[in-house]
Chain A
Amino acid sequence: MKRPAPPKFLLRWLKSFCKPSYHADIEGDLHELYDRYVTSYGVARANLLLFKDVLLLFRPGIIKPIFQKHPIYSNTMIMKDVQFAFRALLRNKLIAGINTVGLSIGISACLIIFLIAHHELTYDKFQRDGDRIFRVYSKYEGPSARVNRGVPTGIASVLQSDFTGIEALTQFHVYGAKVAVPGGLSGLKHFDFYHNIIFAGPEYFDVFNYYQWLAGSKQHALKSPHQVVLTESRAKIYFGELPLPDYLGKEIYYSDSLKVVVAGVVADIEENTDFNFTDFISYSTTQNSWLKEQYQEDVWDGTTSATQLFIKLNALTTADKIMQQMPHVASVYKERNQNSEWSNSPQLQPLSDLHFNQDLGVFDSSRSIPEKSTLYVLMAIAILLLTIAVINFVNLETAQASRRAKEVGVRKVLGSSRGKLVGHFLIETFLLTFFSLVLSTLITVLAMGMFSEFMPPDLKFDPTEPSVLTFLGGCLVVVTFLAGLYPAASLSAYSPARALKNLSMANNSGSRSAMIRKGLTVFQFGFAYSLIVATLVISQQINFMLDKDLGYATTGIVYFHTPWNEPQGKRDVLSNKIEQIEGIDLFSVHQSPPTSSSSMSSVLEFDNGKELLKNQVFIKVGDTSYLRLYNIQLVAGRNVQPVDSIKEYIINETYLKTLGFSDPRDVIGKAIKDATIVGVMKDFHSKSLHTRIEPMLFRFGVKNSSCVGIRFPMEKVSSIAPVMNKVEAAWKEVYPDEKFKYTFLEESIQKFYENEQRVGLLARTATGIAIIVSCLGLFGLSSFTVVQRTKEIGIRKALGATANNILILLSRDFVSLVIVAFIISAPFAWLAADWWLDEFAYRIDVAWWVYVVAGLGSLGVAVVAISSRTVGAAHANPVDSLRNE
């Protein structure tokens, strides 16, 4: 009769917790007891009793310790482990080298992008109660919707008197001016034109209360007109090194005639901030000087983006509560602007959004706003680059498995536990990662120099900074575990008997680790392939945009702006002088070149007989040579007359179509309000190619036109510099104090696509890195295969295989992986390219051959990486490989 056996799960449970040395005996006891229970009480009761027995065995004294002290290895050998790890790395110099280079490249990319992201994301994070500070900005609705970072000056007083929940409120004007201080030979020491000047009241320092006062005090400074508070560094620039209290009472002249007295010095802000103002002129100065015209109080009908309004809520108020009170401001606005079609409902912008909002900008348009999405894309790319370096490591380590299997076998026979072996391999990975980290800090320093245009200008790399150290430490741990854990786990799993008998199947192409290796290689090359496609698409689009006919002439044209605050007469003098200069084909005075970042628009009404058409129309203003200078062609009608009193418009074709005409001749003579349409010009791009061509008109006007465009004859492009020197001489006669700076039109058009150029550079760099690292991995894998199959190749050649046969045999596996990667990632690359191109109103269609070329490119690179080892192996003499045992 077969005896019933005790339930398996109870025995397994016992095994799971019992000390191994006690286990055999105790299990025997249980068997013996179980037999007795069965004969006395039957199977069901016996099971219950046995369960009770096992449960009572679950007690200290029998449960095995979680961390076993091993009799042979103990932690005193840790230095030996490090030594062994060193030796293991040195034994495979090629592989260790490939891993170090790959990892350090990946880590450097991560590090640089971490630095950029950390820099951008920590802007104004140091502000006290920053979550309670908001900027009030204007949101206009009317003929079109738009926002303005400024507000009409009237709003501040309404907020101040009628709103609840506001702890502090400050309104300030952003200003830029030439600065001079008494001293020097001519009585005045002049400085450059400085931005970062604001007109602010003492409340500014209530809202932003992190300023440290080195001289003067918050209570007294900026209270009365003609006072200024400086930052320490700016004070030093103006007056040199002085004891701090001595700065007080010094005089400064802004814009030549605004005389103010220093009433305080504050410490510079070391942290990242957009509030990098250096000169705080008292707000009341604007009302007590000639600035009064420019900065009027209680204005409701105009908004300048230089007027900034910040509020700090009290601790109990939320932004929602303020927004609920906002309709009151909107209704006051409506009341004051009864004839306007626009309505203004002010909004709140949290301080944390200030640095990233593309629509509003920070304080002036000169700063380029980082896009949060770009930052996230950068971070994703960094992580992917590091991933492919880690993949290299995993691939190369597991590929060497058969070589390491013997070592594992011997160690296990000598009593090493699996945990100890995992630790041993991890130490190796840790060492390698550590070297890579050291190397990558060097690479980072070099790369930061090479890609300086790419970086935020005030970005510095200091490896001792806590945030950088934390990142590097985190990197070390994460990379060690990511790269080391799988190889360590799979290598340490070999049973010693199999490993020593050379039966480990690690390198059979069907084994699990081989499959994982293939999958990872496909991932690497898929990523590299997608980046190649991205590079091609981006460069094609950039070339398309730069080469596209904008609808007017751009070559051989330079332009410059005359000082806007100088009287008009001076400009006329300058134009007369320029007219005398030889070598100039044509020149024109106008408000802005055809394509410009600044634009002017207005809502115009046109009565076409049936209905009243209201359209937002962009307006270009200039003299009569404007159209000729830029070679903008007239489709019908004539040029405008150089008279201010007659209002004549030349409209573009898009406006013509919007008005419902097809034949340009029909519209000539029609009236838009009090003006007559006298001509129709061809469409041209007045903005970057991100946006469509919009309705536009050209009218005569030289009064407020500060831009002077000069065209050179086509054949004399080389003579631009000498002629411009003459222009500069003329300029110096008219504006002795102003700097002369001119711009080539083509250059300024290229500037529109700076962001794309930067993205292109990024894509090229990332592609380069991805290809280098992936190919390093492939090179390592193939050289390993070649070494491993030396005998096989020898035998095949001895049996008559040609070098080509061998080459194909060795490359086939790798090439097919690259092709699979191409097939899998092509659809993703297509989707991504399409998504990116959707941002452009005028875009290329990506031709199918781009994908093929990218595929062939990655294949070609892969083949080169492989063949550097395989060709040698295929041509080797079989005698050599077969003779050595």
Chain B
Amino acid sequence: MKVGIFVIVPYYYSYFEGIFMPMQLGELEEIVLLTVGVLHGNAYAITIKDEIESRLGRTVTLGSLQVTLRRLESKGFLKSYFGESDEIRRGRPRLYFEITAYGKKAIAATRDSRNSLWNALPKLVLKLK
């Protein structure tokens, strides 16, 4: 007897797109979203970039990071506010990000789907490694 595995992908309503969108995150999106959560209250482009680079040992260009941030914001997973500025930025404001409730649901959903896969993984496979 074969048992199929069903993964339920939650949907959310995107006000930006005006349609229901799957709450699925891309790989970089997931990393950025998590990093914003990690940095809690101190998340703007440069710190996020630093955090990813130091924690994960991979480089992120400002271009791809900015695009990802804006995309997450437009999907409703992040929200942003202008913060203070200083001499280092020559007066340009910092744009801080924080996770929205939708964002939290989205990472949770991502983790759940991963977990369900992990749980389905036969112990044997892991041992072999």
Would you call A59 and B93 a contact (CB within 8 A)? no
Would you call A33 and B70 a contact (CB within 8 A)? no
Would you call B62 and A35 a contact (CB within 8 A)? no
CB contact list, A43-65 vs B, under 8 A: 52-53, 55-59, 61-62
Across the interface, which residues of A come within 8 angstroms of B70, CB to CB?
Answer: 22, 61-62
Known: A29-B46, A61-B67. A24 touches B92 (CB 8 A): yes
B94 CB contact (under 8 Å) in A25, A58, A61: A25
Across the interface, which residues of A come within 8 angstroms of B101, CB to CB?
Answer: none
Known: A24-B92, A57-B66. A29 touches B45 (CB 8 A): yes
15 A-B pairs with C-beta separation under 8 A: A25-B44, A25-B45, A25-B93, A27-B92, A28-B94, A29-B66, A30-B62, A32-B89, A53-B61, A56-B61, A56-B63, A57-B62, A58-B63, A59-B63, A62-B70
Decide if B88 is an interface residue (CB 8 Å cutoff).
Answer: yes
Decide if A26 is an interface residue (CB 8 Å cutoff).
Answer: yes
- Output the least CB separation between B35 and chain A (Å): 15
Q: Which residue of A lies closest to B45 (CB)?
A: A29
Instruction: Count how many pairs of residues, one from A and one from B, have CB atoms less than 8 Å apart in the complex.
Output: 63
Across the interface, which residues of B come within 8 angstroms of A22, CB to CB?
Answer: 66, 70
Known: A32-B46, A33-B46, A56-B61. A26 touches B66 (CB 8 A): yes
Would you call B64 and A56 a contact (CB within 8 A)? yes
Across the interface, which residues of B come within 8 angstroms of A27, CB to CB?
Answer: 92
CB contact list, A182-240 vs B, under 8 A: none
Encode B70-108 as 1/0 by CB contact (under 8 A) with A. Answer: 110000000000100100111011110000000000000
Across the interface, which residues of A come within 8 angstroms of B71, CB to CB?
Answer: 61
Would you call A28 and B63 a contact (CB within 8 A)? no
Across the interface, which residues of A come within 8 angstroms of B92, CB to CB?
Answer: 24-25, 27-28, 31
Across the interface, which residues of B come within 8 angstroms of A31, CB to CB?
Answer: 88-90, 92
CB contact list, B54-70 vs A, under 8 A: 61-64, 66-67, 70
A35 CB contact (under 8 Å) in B61, B66, B88, B93: B88
Q: Which of B64, B89, B93 has the most CB of A within 10 A?
A: B89
Would you call A56 and B62 a contact (CB within 8 A)? yes
Would you call B63 and A57 a contact (CB within 8 A)? yes
Across the interface, which residues of A come within 8 angstroms of B89, CB to CB?
Answer: 28-29, 31-32
Would you call A28 and B90 a contact (CB within 8 A)? yes
Would you call A29 and B62 a contact (CB within 8 A)? yes
- Output the least CB separation between B39 and chain A (Å): 15
Across the interface, which residues of A come within 8 angstroms of B61, CB to CB?
Answer: 52-53, 56
Known: A28-B85, A29-B46, A32-B89. A59 touches B67 (CB 8 A): yes
Would you call A53 and B94 a contact (CB within 8 A)? no
Bound: A56/B82 CA distance, A? 24
Knowing that A25-B92, A31-B88, A62-B70 touch, tell me 12 more A-B residue pairs with CB under 8 angstroms. Answer: A25-B45, A25-B95, A26-B62, A29-B45, A31-B90, A33-B62, A53-B61, A53-B63, A58-B63, A59-B67, A61-B70, A62-B63
The tally of residues in B whose CB lies under 8 Å from a CB in A reads 20
Encode A9-30 as 1/0 by CB contact (under 8 A) with B. Answer: 0000000000000101111111
Q: Which residue of A lies closest to B62 (CB)?
A: A53
- Output the least CB separation between B70 and chain A (Å): 6
Across the interface, which residues of A come within 8 angstroms of B94, CB to CB?
Answer: 25, 28
Across the interface, which residues of B come within 8 angstroms of A25, CB to CB?
Answer: 44-45, 82, 92-95
Across the interface, which residues of A come within 8 angstroms of B63, CB to CB?
Answer: 53, 55-59, 62
- Output the least CB separation between B83 and chain A (Å): 10
Bound: A22/B45 CA distance, A? 12
Bound: A600/B60 CA distance, A? 99
- Output the least CB separation between B2 and chain A (Å): 43
Encode B36-61 as 1/0 by CB contact (under 8 A) with A. Answer: 00000000111000000000000001
- Output the least CB separation between A686 and chain B (Å): 90
Known: A24-B93, A28-B93, A29-B46. A62 touches B88 (CB 8 A): no
Bound: A56/B67 CA distance, A? 10
Bound: A25/B62 CA distance, A? 12
Across the interface, which residues of B come within 8 angstroms of A30, CB to CB?
Answer: 62
Across the interface, which residues of A come within 8 angstroms of B45, CB to CB?
Answer: 25-26, 29
Across the interface, which residues of B come within 8 angstroms of A62, CB to CB?
Answer: 63, 66-67, 70
- Output the least CB separation between B90 and chain A (Å): 5
Q: Which of A22, A25, A33, A57 has the most CB of B within 10 A?
A: A25
